[in-house]
Amino acid sequence: MSWRATLLTLFPEMFPGPLGHSLAGRALSRGSWSIEARDIRSFATDKHRTVDDTPFGGGAGMVMRPDVADAACAWAQEGNPGAPLVYLTPRGRPLGQDLVRELAAGPGVILFCGRYEGLDQRVIEARGMREVSVGDYVLSGGEPAALVLLDACVRLLPGVMGGAASAEEESFSAGGRGPLLEYPHYTRPAEWNGLRVPDVLVSGHHAEVARWRAAQSEAATRERRPDLWRRREELDGAAPAAYTSA
Ligand code: ADE
């Protein structure tokens, strides 16, 4: 049984979308994973096929109905048994490589894509949904977030990355001490628009190249992601920042 993605969405035609192309698309054609997107509206029971209603307590926007969402989840769990049920929402825990790795290692995933103001909290709790966010910004719906999560998982499935040295050799693949951002990359020509690639990269000294890349990774992480850098210092049991910075 290959890794199975079940999508619950009001816009099933958005899938597989970009995941039908490139590495993920070829893996999909080979049967390394599968995807099924089902219209949440097909679980509505009234004649207007209503999926949302006004929020109790007042306020703007609409809320997705728990009865319709629950029927959709029941259907998904029957067809994808054992797969965790994830609700994509900016209120969720931030998606990180750890969760991606965990989901990719399992049987698959059921992704509930919200629209409107969100989903009735009772069905989130009753179904034990894991609430996940892909970042601190608000998308118009969970679908692009679901595509992000799926892409990150699918590239970790056995055989998907093919010849690439390792799916895990990049930014956010922690090597025990917490993740670092990747070092910068260069290719031919060695001089372009008067700009030369760093000398060390054409020196042929593998140890120096490795040292340079490590230093670049650390500098980028320190500057751009002080949160990751602090975590690394903590894991190292390093001296407090006051003693190590400038
Ligand atoms: N839906 C809307 N915004 C989102 C986000 N940032 N992450 C996950 N789902 C979302």
Residue of 7, 11, 91, 138 to mutate, ligand 1, most atoms within 8 A of C-beta: 138
The CATH 3.40.1280.10 domain(s) of the chain lie at 3-154
Residues 141-196 pLDDT 10s: 999 999 999 999 999 999 998 755 566 655 666 557 889 999 999 999 999 999 99
CA of 7 to the centre of ligand 1 (A): 15
Query: Which ligand 1 atom is the nearest neighbour of the CA of 140?
Result: 2
Ligand 1: atom nearest CA of 88 is 9
CB 137 less than 6 A from any atom of ligand 1? yes
Domain with CATH 1.10.1270.20 in the chain: 169-236
Q: Compute, in angstroms, the gap from residue 146 CA to the centroid of ligand 1.
A: 9
Dump pLDDT digits (tens) for 55-69.
999 999 999 999 999
The answer, yes or no, to whether any atom of ligand 1 lies below 6 A from the CB of 134, is: yes
> Comparing C-alpha atoms, which of 15, 110, 29 is closest to residue 69?
110
For ligand 1, say whether the CB of 246 is within 6 Å of any of its atoms. no
CATH superfamily of 169-236: tRNA(m1g37)methyltransferase, domain 2 (1.10.1270.20)
* Gap from CA of 209 to ligand 1 centroid (Å): 39
pLDDT in tens, 202-235: 999 999 999 999 999 999 999 999 999 999 999 9
Q: Which fold has domain 3-154?
A: Alpha/beta knot (3.40.1280)
Q: What's this model's pTM, rounded to 2 decimal places?
A: 0.92
The number of angstroms, rounded, from the C-alpha of 190 to the middle of its chain's C-alpha atoms is: 35
